[in-house]
Each structure stands twice: as C-alpha cells, then as structure tokens.
A and B are shown apart, each in its own frame.
Chain A
C-alpha cells in the first residue's frame, strides 16, 4: 500500500543550529502536510503544500510530487521546537498517510 518513510526517527540539536527532516513517498502524492505534536499531545499544523516551498519563520518546507519527497528544514533551533514532527501525505483522494514521526530534542 501507500507508504511514507520519514527520517530521521530522532534528532538532537543544540540551540541555534539547524537540520532537515525528510519524507519519501512510495507513490505520487497529491499534497503533504507537516505537523508538530506538542507536549500536550495536540497536532499543530505547520505547513500544507500541494507543490513548491513554503516558509514560516525559522521553518521551511518543500514538496516535490514528481520526485516523491518532502522536507522540513528547521534553522536556529530553539528549546520550544522540541517535540515530535510528522509528515502526512494525501494519496490523491482524501486519505492521509502519516510518517512515523521524528522526535526532535533541542538542548541548550
């Protein structure tokens, strides 16, 4: 079936540094959404992309449907960025397939 491979599964960053999360798709996806799960367990919307890139503050996301991947870049990481990040891809209809999550820990 449709699958989303998300990497890395865990990531440690020092404050002020940056890195990228990636989701690879086994098939062509219509759109991708990125979430952060906060300490209370709520899924917070970060980005929704049908193509191209979007930027919001220190976060930037890109989605290439043809190449079957999406990325989430975090720069100048802050302590409050810690949490679990998920990508979720729309399969062409309405179904959403989730990645397994990336647990990010930002330390001083």
Chain B
C-alpha cells in the first residue's frame, strides 16, 4: 500500500499562471479531502468528495480555486491565475468514509513568485 500519493511534491509558478495539483487516494477509500497549510492560518479544510461526488467545498476560496474527482483513483485541485498568497502546502487525505481515520499524503509545496 503506497498510501496517498500527491504530485508534484514541489511546484513553483509565476504570478498569474495556473497550477494543477494531483492526488491519488488509497485504493478502496471513498472519501477524499483537500487541505491547505500556511504559517498564518495553519491547516485549513478546503473541500471533500465522497464516492467522487463533491460534498462540501465551503473551505475553497470563491475565486480561482476548483477541485474535481473524475474517477475514484484521482482528484485534482486547480488554481487559476495564481497569486503569491496561494503559496502553501496543499495536503490531500483519504478515508474509507467521511467519518473515519484520514490518511494524509506528503503534500504539494506550492510557491508562487
């Protein structure tokens, strides 16, 4: 079991460019969560999928951020027109259900210059 896989591990983009982050949940897990970690805010919930369906995106910034889960084996978090304040570690986690132990990936460190 490889655990939750996130790619890339590091990404540097210029201001205004698009960034797409990938997450592969643990096989058999039906719930996928996205979080963001910054020094200022700590760990913040962004969005949650259950059986590929979006359940709650209340933590997502209203503009420029979107997440999808086109199949059970991966989810993407897309940030359009990236800004320096988007710089953070983006964490993906999966679980067998919405209320079970969450297993975290190693994160993607995004730096927007």
Count of residues in A whose CB is under 8 Å from the partner chain: 22
A43 to B42 Cα, complex, angstroms: 13
Count of residues in B whose CB is under 8 Å from the partner chain: 24
Instruction: Let me know if A98 is at the binding interface, CB within 8 A.
Output: yes
The chain A residue with its CB closest to the CB of B59 is: A95
A52-105, CB < 8 A from B = 86, 88, 90, 93-101
Question: Would A35 and B55 count as touching, CB distance under 8 A?
Answer: no
Distance to closest chain A CB from B60 (angstroms): 13
The chain A residue with its CB closest to the CB of B42 is: A100
Q: List A contacts of B100 (CB < 8 A).
A: 48
Central interface residue in B31, B45, B55, B93, by most chain A CB within 10 Å: B45
The chain B residue with its CB closest to the CB of A101 is: B42
The proximity string for B residues 97-108 relative to A, scoring 1 for CB distances below 8 Å and 0 otherwise, is 011111111110
Question: Would A42 and B104 count as touching, CB distance under 8 A?
Answer: yes
Question: Would A30 and B99 count as touching, CB distance under 8 A?
Answer: yes
Instruction: Let me know if B18 is at the binding interface, CB within 8 A.
Output: no
A45 to B109 Cα, complex, angstroms: 20
The chain A residue with its CB closest to the CB of B109 is: A41
Q: List B contacts of A33 (CB < 8 A).
A: 101-102
Q: List B contacts of A98 (CB < 8 A).
A: 42-44
Q: List B contacts of A96 (CB < 8 A).
A: 33, 35, 45, 102
Distance to closest chain B CB from A19 (angstroms): 22
The proximity string for B residues 35-51 relative to A, scoring 1 for CB distances below 8 Å and 0 otherwise, is 10000001111001000
The chain B residue with its CB closest to the CB of A99 is: B42
Query: Among A41, A88, A90, which residue has its beta carbon within 8 angstroms of that of B99?
Result: A90
9 A-B pairs closest in CB distance: A94-B98, A98-B43, A43-B104, A48-B101, A42-B106, A100-B42, A95-B45, A41-B107, A94-B99
State the A residues within 8 Å of B (CB).
Answer: 30-31, 33, 35, 40-43, 45, 48, 86, 88, 90, 93-101
State the B residues within 8 Å of A (CB).
Answer: 31, 33, 35, 42-45, 48, 55-56, 89, 91, 93, 98-107, 109
